[in-house]
Homo-oligomer: A and B are copies of this chain.
Amino acid sequence: MKKLDKLYEGKAKVIYATIDPNLIIQDFKNDATAFNAQKKGQIEDKGKVNAQISAHLFERLKEASVPNHFVELLSDTSMLTKKVEIILIEVVVRNIAAGSLSKRLGYDEGVVLKKPLVEYYYKDDELGDPLINEDHVEELSICDKETLDKIKAMALKVNEILKPYFASVGMKLVDFKLEFGKTNDGELLLADEISPDTCRLWDSETNEKLDKDRFRRDLGKVEESYKEVLKRVEGKGYRVPSKE
C-alpha cells in the first residue's frame, strides 16, 4: 500500500490517502509539541517508537474487542489504518492525579483517584482545547448523546485493558488521551495513537516518568524513556510482523 496525496499534517503525524478510499496511512513524526504548540522540539526516533507502541496496543485492544482503526504497520513509522472522520473531542481517562487535573482540583500529583475519571476536551487549537461537559458537546453538535455514551464506555474499557497490561510490564497508567472517529459506514472506532505522547506512564517501582512530561518539563532522558516503554511493551505479547 503506497502513500498518495497528503490529506492532513498534524503536530505529531502526517496523514496520506491510499488507493483504497477506506484506508489511510499515518506517518509518525519526530516532532514534539506541548502546551498547545507553544513549546516545540524533536525527539529522536519518536516516530518509530510511537508507531510501534501504538501498533502493539491497538492489536491488544483489537484482541479484547475494542474496535479500532489499526490495520498494520507498513514501515517503522507508517501505519495503515481505516479512514475515519475524527470526532472533535479528546477523551482523557485518569487513574492518578497529574497535570491539569492536579491544578483543577488542587490534588497533589500522584494521588490515586477513587475510580477512573473521564474528561472531554474540545479539539480546537485556537481555543486551547478547553475542558467541556456533555451539554457543551451537544451544543457544539460534536456528536449525539448515544455516540458520546458509547465513547465513554469504550474509553473506560480501554483503561480496564491497558491499566493491568501496563502494570504487567512495570508501569502505572496514570492517564491517557484517546480520539475516536466514524467510518463512512458509521462505525465508531478508536483512532489516532496510544503512545508516551498521549499517555502518562510512571515506573511502577520508582514513579519515574516515562512519557511526554519529560519533554514538557525538561526532565531529560526523553528519548531513553520513550525507548524504555517500547522495550517493555515489546517484551510482552504482540510482535510487529515483518513485512514481505
Contacts and interface: CB of A to CB of B under 8 A. Distances in A.
Interface string A75-115: 00000000000000000000000000001111000000111
A113 B134 CA distance: 14
A105 B133 contact: no
A117 B139 contact: yes
B133 A119 contact: yes
A1 interface: no
Contacts of A127: 103-106
Nearest to A118: B135
A96 to B, nearest CB: 12
A106 B135 contact: no
A132 B104 contact: yes
A7 to B, nearest CB: 25
B139 A105 contact: yes
Interface residues of A, number: 25
A106 B131 contact: no
A104 B130 contact: yes
Contact of A131 (B114, B126, B133): B133
A132 to B, nearest CB: 7
Contacts of A136: 104-105, 117, 119
A135 B119 contact: yes
B124 A138 contact: no
B139 A114 contact: yes
A105 B142 CA distance: 12
A219 interface: no
B106 A126 contact: yes
A122 interface: yes
Interface string A125-149: 0110011111110111000000000
* 5 interchain residue pairs of minimum CB distance: A117-B135, A104-B130, A133-B133, A106-B127, A118-B135
